Amino acid sequence: MSYIEFIALFLIAPILIAGIQVVERGIWGYDPHRVLGIIIGWVPLEEYLFFVLQPILIGLWGLRSWTPIRESPIAPSAGLRWGAGSIMVGAWAVLLAMENRFGPQWTYFKAILAWGLPPLILQIGFGADLLWDNRRSLLIRWIPPALFLSAADRLAIAEGIWFLNPDLTTGLTVLGLPVEEGLFFFLTSLLVAGGWTLWMHPAARHRLLIRKPQRIAGRTKA
C-alpha cells in the first residue's frame, strides 16, 4: 500500500463520508453568497476541495520538516501496539454503545470521534511503537498544521463563511474556536502526520513487506 493509497482509504474517504453525514444532519451551514453554488450531495464543491487539499497541505509540511528517521532498529513492541490499540477500540465501542445517552448538543463531537477513531486505531495497532519512538518528529509534523488550520477555521467562522448549528454543538470554545472544530483538525492532522511517519519509517516498510515464496530443492518455501 502506498502513502497516497493510505491517505485516500483511511483519511480522505472517511472525511468525505463524515462530511456528507454531518451536513445532512444540519450540523454545518454555509452562506449561499460565499459558495459557488455547486452542490454535490448535500455538500458544496468547496467542501470536497477542502477535504482533499487538507491532507496535501499537511503532507507537504511533513515533507518540508522531514528529518531522516534513524536506520538503527528499535525493539519492536507488540505489547504496546496491542495494548494501545485495545484501549482505543474499547473507547470507540463505549462511545458507540453510549451514543444515545448524550444530548443532541454532542452530535457533532460524537460524529467526529465515531469516524475518526477507526483509522487512528489502525495506525496505533500497526505501529504504536514506531510512532512513540519518533514522537518528537511526529509532534512537529502534527501540531503546527493543526494549529494553522484551526486558526483558519476560526477566521472562516468569524467571517460567516460557514457556521455550526447551536442545537447540535456544545457551544464550548477555546480562544473563540468551537471545540468540535479543534477536535476535527487535530484528529485529521494526526492521521496524516502519523500515516506519513509510519510510511517513511524503515521498520514500517519491513512490516508491510510481502515475502515471495522461495523454491528450495524442488519445494516451495514460504
User: Does the pLDDT at position 36 exceed 80?
Assistant: no
Q: What's the average model confidence in pLDDT over 25-32?
A: 70
Share of the chain above pLDDT 90, in %: 18
Task: Count Cβ atoms below 10 Å from residue 162 Cβ, excluding itself.
Answer: 19
Give the residue from 133, 132, 139, 130 showing the smallest Cα distance to 206: 130
Which residue range is the domain that position 74 belongs to? 3-221
The more confident residue out of 201 and 20 is 201
Q: What's the average model confidence in pLDDT over 109-120?
A: 87
The more confident residue out of 70 and 123 is 123
Number of independent structural domains in the chain: 1
Residue-wise pLDDT tens digits, 67-77:
665 544 566 67
Q: How far apart are CA 211 and CA 42, in angstroms?
A: 45
pLDDT score at 144? 93
Q: How far apart are CA 199 and CA 47, in angstroms?
A: 27
The more confident residue out of 178 and 53 is 178
Q: Sorting pLDDT into bands at 50, 70 and 90, what band is 18?
A: low
The more confident residue out of 204 and 166 is 166
The more confident residue out of 24 and 42 is 42
pLDDT score at 214? 46
pLDDT score at 219? 52
Q: How far apart are CA 187 and CA 198, in angstroms?
A: 16
